[in-house]
Amino acid sequence: MTQMRTETDSFGSIELPQDALWGAQTARSLHFFAIGNQRMPLEIIHALALIKWAAATVNGQLGLLDARKEVAIADAARCIALGEFDEAFPLSVWQTGSGTQSNMNVNEVIATLANADTDITQDTRVHPNDDVNRGQSSNDVFPSAMHIAALRQTHTLLLPALHALHEALLHKAVSFKDLAKVGRTHLQDATPVTLGQEFAGYAAQLALCRSSIEHALQAVGALALGGTAVGTGLNTHPEFGARVAALLAEHLGLPLRQADNLFAAMAGHEALVGLHASLRMLAIALNKIGNDIRLMGSGPRAGLGELLLPQNEAGSSIMPGKVNPTQIEALTMVCAQVMGHDVAIGIAAAQGQFELNVYKPLIALNVQDSIRLLGDAMHSFTQHCLQGLQADAQRLEEYLQRSLMLVTALTPHIGYDRAAQIAKLAQVEGCSLREAALQLGFVSAADFDLWVQPRGMLGVV
Strand 390-391 relative to strand 307-308, pairing: antiparallel
138 is in an annotated binding site: yes
For residues 140, 144, 145, 148, the Cα torsion angle rounded to the nearest 10 degrees is -170
E-state strands within 261-400: 307-308, 390-391
235 is in an annotated binding site: no
Of 175, 186, 237, 276, catalytic = 186
98 is in an annotated binding site: yes
52 is in an annotated binding site: no
324 is in an annotated binding site: yes
Closest Cα partner for 251 from 19, 46, 417?
Answer: 46
140 is in an annotated binding site: no
Strand 307-308 relative to strand 257-258, pairing: unpaired
Of 31, 211, 215, 316, catalytic = 316
Other C-beta atoms closer than 10 Å to the C-beta of 274 total: 19
129 is in an annotated binding site: yes
127 is in an annotated binding site: yes
Instruction: Report the amino acid identity of residue 301.
Output: R
SS3 377: helix
How far apart are the C-alpha atoms of 205 and 65, rounded to whole Å? 51
Catalytic residue status for 186: yes
Give DSSP secondary structure letters for 165-185: HHHHHHHHHHHTTT-EEEEEE
Give DSSP secondary structure letters for 10-72: TTEEEEEETT-SS-HHHHHHHHH---SSPBPPHHHHHHHHHHHHHHHHHHHHTT-S-HHHHHH
State the sign of the Cα–Cα–Cα–Cα dihedral 136, 137, 138, 143. negative
Instruction: Report the amino acid identity of residue 158.
Output: L
Angstrom distances, CA of residue 77 to CA of 122, 315, 429:
21, 47, 78
Sequence-ordered list of residues with C-beta below 8 angstroms from that of 311, at least 6 positions apart, any chain: 323
6 is in an annotated binding site: no
Q: Which residues are catalytic?
A: 186, 316
Residues annotated within a binding site: 98-100, 127-130, 137-139, 185, 317, 322-324
Binding residues for substrate: 98-100, 127-130, 137-139, 185, 317, 322-324
